[in-house]
A and B are shown apart, each in its own frame.
Chain A
Amino acid sequence: MKLTLANFHVKDICFGAKTELKDGVLTVNKEEALAVVREDTHITEAELHIVKPGDMVRLVPVKEAIEPRYRVGGGPVFPGVTGELMQAGNGKTHALKDMSVLVVGKHYGGFQDGLIDMGGEGAKYSYYSQLKNLVLVAHTDEEFERHEQQKKNRALRWAGMRLAEYIGSCTKDMQPDDTDVYELEPVTKRSKAVNDLPSVVLVLQPQSQMEEMGYNDLNYGWDCNHMLPTFMHPNEVLDGAMISGSFMPCSSKWSTYDFQNFPMIRRLYEEHGKTLNFLGVIMSNLNVALEQKERAAIFVAQMAKSLGADSAIVAEEGYGNPDTDFTACLVALEEAGVKTVGLSNECTGRDGASQPLVSMNEKEDAIVSCGNVSTLIELPAMPVVLGELEALSRDGLSGGWGNDEKLGPSVRPDGSIIMENNAMFCGDQVVGWSTKTMVEF
């Protein structure tokens, strides 16, 4: 399977008469773009904004981030989600780099939504403050979940994907600035030189905790709660087969942009043929019933063993209950003789001294730790807020609260905030971007 990602570097974004990319400047026809958003009649209010690194703008509640793309030769960017099913990961896809489409609730947020500061001291907590972002701020008529803490955010997330496809399509017939080619030979058809290298599988545990459909990550449109661990080509992940869900506390969440760019996959590609033989991805999940967790671990270890993996990297999208799957999977792999490294974040609590993972085992002897959901963050007011700041306090965002006996409300009358890192949008970057680690004080 060979995927060519054709990169178009976006140096600036502005609104204008025609949606086009010219000399690195993306111009967006606002009305046309909003018409794409409003194709879903559940969208009742919608507005577009542009934010850039350093802007003193706070975005909350942020629901999703997507990289604008265009599939050369036609077909949806997200097969089985925004269009018909087709093979992802083979062929050519255009990608608008250094930018994302962000989706923000105009009023209401929930457990799964997060916050981004584009400038100031809060900017370092989210990857997305480094990007130029086209921001959709919208409201829907999804009354059934208006006051639910956990929201599917379906209309908003799908609007974001349509918008990303619309923006991406302006590169049709254009020549990219550069290209990245991702190609792996079939597992049994590799050269001796490659086969002699230590082999590695990447085990991903995307979010699938909700029994009700509509909240979990999707794999080619299929709810990850309804799948057993399966072998995938890494190109499929990079090319839109996986989309983010709407459930996990936000700093632990993997956005769709994160899946599309998955730095751990790209890093393994860099090593492939040099120091490692990258076999592929075992896509597992994070279901809540113990039997499902154990079954998934059995499947993962068996698959790794049958593929002849000498080693594995396991990454979990979540903390708390999912730590059980993470630990079970690491232990099962170690017991199968597969040398394993884990990628996770931690939850050390208000005292900083609580057990960092819900489930731990001494066989987990190699963990890369990407952040702490419990870290308290205090930030000054921002002159501009896109969305509704009160959502952080009012709507049960995982790192916000209405009132705390010691700390007061998350959102103060002067617009300054206090929150847990938990609600920083995709802040812990367990997909591989994180330059944070955990240390003892």
Chain B
Amino acid sequence: MKAILYLNQFFGQIGGEELADHEPEIREGCVGPALALQAALGDQVTVTHTVICGDNFMGSRTEEGIDRILGFLNDKEFDIFFAGPAFRAGRYGAACGHICNAVQNKFGVPVLTSMNEENPGVEMYRSKMIIFKGGASAAAMKKDVEAMAKYGLKLLKGEKLLPAVVEGYFGRGIRDMIWLDPPVTAADRAIDMLLKKVRGEAYQTELPIPKSDRAPIATAITPEELSKMEVALVTSGGIVPVGNPDRIQSASATKWGKYDVSMLENLQKGEYMTIHAGFDPAAANNDPDVIVPLDAMRAYQKEGKIGGVYKFFYSTVGTGTTQAEAARMGREIAEELLRDGIRAAILTST
């Protein structure tokens, strides 16, 4: 199997800060830390090439630098891509992140890098790739290279991959279940945690609560403005025309649909229904307006409270749907509404 390593101008043995504008280049074989990487990988993986680029070049002409390097790699065969270690060097860390991200997106091969926790590249890229927790300076070179190589070999051999904290990389925010070894039951863990909490001793929650990702509340619309505006209806309650023409999933949805209601006064039973599998559908199927309140909006329209109802309502299913998918669908729907000049929407959930 084959590997390629990315280095900056310093570790690529071009020179120091005065040569940080060095243009990207690719060399056959191992330069500098690539020798240590080759030693750590052993005889099963060959480091065939070393890519070198100045930190300033990658920092100021990022897109060009990435394009040129991807161009170098186009005709190369490789199974894994490494970058760094970048230690605490900020521009180098960011460069390792830029190039690793581009390589994994274009070639679909695993990418690995290493940085110190104070390197700003960590926060920029930790959710997108595996970044090993590296030392502060090149004194840690051997150790950091070995950590990347060891994990790279596991990846290539399809061996069992352990949690971030055990493997020694910065967690990517991806959570999954594992079996404790040796096994400890949840009941035992709850008692242990409770006793420590009651006694004021240190304990570790198994679900650290991250900071909330809240959208700011929009500024209020005045009644005068509202009386002239079309308002859109959007729902995660799964109301669709009977037959579900867009085949939106009943749980863990990844699709949304939009349905023309410009000629309708309300949503009729038998013509619209919910396909949401996370609540009792009886009331919604009996009167779909309880979830998409077109009837009430038409009444407001007649009273002159709102200028009108946008011609489409948008629908997806909220049960089991991931935050990432929900955010993507929300963005897509919002973009459509904004393109049509819609500035107000009512989002109904269930």
Contact = CB atoms under 8 A, between A and B. Distances in A.
A370 B324 contact: no
A210 B323 CA distance: 25
Q: Is the interface of A mostly helix, strand, loop or mixed?
A: loop
B174 A441 contact: yes
Given A198-B198, A435-B179, A440 B280 contact: no
Contacts of A368: 186, 189-190, 193, 206
Contacts of A210: 280
A14 interface: no
A112 to B, nearest CB: 10
B171 A271 contact: no
B187 A441 contact: no
Interface stretch (A45-53, A58-66, A426-434): A426-434
B9 interface: no
B207 A372 contact: no
Interface stretch (B117-125, B246-254, B330-338): B246-254
Given A339-B194, A341-B194, A439-B165, A351 B174 contact: yes
Given A349-B322, A396-B250, A435-B183, A357 B174 contact: no
B176 A438 contact: yes
A438 B193 CA distance: 16
Listed residue (A367, A368, A433, A438) with the most chain B CB atoms within 10 angstroms of its CB: A368
A344 B179 contact: no
Contact of B161 (A267, A320, A421, A441): A441
A186 to B, nearest CB: 23
Contacts of B322: 347-351, 354, 374
B282 interface: yes
B107 interface: no
Contact of A440 (B161, B174, B321, B324): B174
A263 B194 contact: no
B194 A441 contact: no
B177 A372 contact: yes
Given A263-B187, A267-B188, A271-B191, A435 B180 contact: yes
Interface residues of B, number: 54
Contacts of A372: 175-177
A226 to B, nearest CB: 15
B215 interface: no
Interface centre among B176, B195, B197, B321 (most CB of A within 10 A): B176
A171 interface: no
Nearest to B325: A349
B32 interface: no
B250 A439 contact: no
Interface stretch (A175-183, A234-242, A358-366): A358-366
Contacts of A396: 250, 277
Contacts of A211: 280, 282-283
B297 to A, nearest CB: 22
User: DSSP majority for the B interface?
Assistant: loop
Nearest to B199: A198
Nearest to A403: B247
A131 B325 CA distance: 39
A347 B177 CA distance: 10
Interface string B160-180: 010111000001111111111
B164 A440 contact: yes
A384 interface: no
B223 interface: no
- Which of B184, B203, B207, B279 is packed against the most chain A CB atoms within 10 Å? B207
A124 interface: yes
B175 A441 contact: yes
B320 interface: yes
Contacts of A420: 252
Contacts of B277: 111, 149-150, 396, 398
B127 interface: yes
Contacts of B205: 364-367
Interface residues of A, number: 74
A421 B194 contact: no
A432 B322 CA distance: 26
B44 interface: no
A369 B324 CA distance: 21
B278 interface: yes
A263 B174 contact: no
B320 A373 contact: yes
Contact of B323 (A266, A288, A354, A437): A354
Contacts of A349: 252, 321-325
A362 B209 contact: yes
A264 B190 contact: yes
A356 B194 contact: no
A341 B278 contact: no
B219 interface: no
Nearest to B189: A368
Contact of B195 (A275, A347, A348, A374): A275
A343 interface: yes
B278 A439 contact: no
Interface in A321-354: 321, 339, 341, 343-344, 346-354
- The 9 tightest CB contacts between A and B, nearest first, are A349-B322, A432-B187, A354-B322, A440-B171, A435-B183, A352-B174, A439-B163, A267-B187, A354-B323
5 contacts: A211-B282, A320-B320, A364-B207, A365-B205, A421-B177
Interface of A: 111, 124, 149-150, 198, 200, 209-212, 249, 263-264, 266-268, 271, 275-276, 288, 310-311, 313, 320-321, 339, 341, 343-344, 346-357, 360-362, 364-375, 396, 398, 401, 420-422, 429-430, 432-441
Given A275-B195, A349-B322, A357-B207, 20 more contacts: A111-B277, A311-B194, A321-B278, A343-B186, A348-B174, A351-B322, A353-B127, A354-B323, A354-B324, A366-B194, A368-B206, A373-B320, A396-B250, A398-B251, A421-B177, A422-B320, A434-B186, A437-B206, A440-B173, A440-B174
